[in-house]
Amino acid sequence: MITDETIKIERYINRVWPKFKTQKEIALRKLFPSPQNIGLNHIWKYGSADLVVFWNNKPICIIEPGGIQHFEDKQKKNDARKFKLCELNNCRCLHMINGLIDGLSKKQFRRLIGGYVYGKSKNKN
């Protein structure tokens, strides 16, 4: 499901950094080749990315806004698998809790998103 947070972040990226392309709600199997790690097969087959940032048609960053469900054990394990799949494919992954945008200054938000889009930040769970 595409959330308001996802739409806000996509609009921001498209406005501030128009050289990047974005796409919402993409199946991970369409982004990455089948993983050799069998523990990642399920997330690769059935998982999706909320917002993907592309450079030269290659996914460079996935942004995952989400709510409290990301603190539940099952979702935390799925998130960890998704982050690992991204890492193996040289794609950064940012999980943002819903409402974070409203609590940051414009400068802080730009630095946060820019760090992932430009590769200055590491994957975080």
Residue 87 falls inside a structural domain: yes
- Interstrand relation of 21-27 and 48-55 (parallel, antiparallel or unpaired): antiparallel
Residue at 123 is within a domain: no
| pLDDT tens for the 125 residues of the chain, in order | 788 889 999 999 999 999 999 999 999 999 999 999 999 999 999 999 999 999 999 999 999 987 666 567 777 888 899 999 999 999 999 988 877 778 889 899 999 999 989 986 554 43
Task: State pLDDT tens for residues 53-83.
Answer: 999 999 999 999 876 665 677 778 888 999 9
49: β partners: 26
Whether 86 maps to a domain, the answer reads yes
Q: 69 with 38: CB under 8 angstroms?
A: no
Which residues form the domain of 19?
A: 4-117
**Pairing between strand 21-27 and 92-97?**
unpaired
Contact status, residue 93 vs residue 29, Cβ threshold 8 Å: no
Read off the pTM: 0.87
* Number of folded domains that form the chain: 1
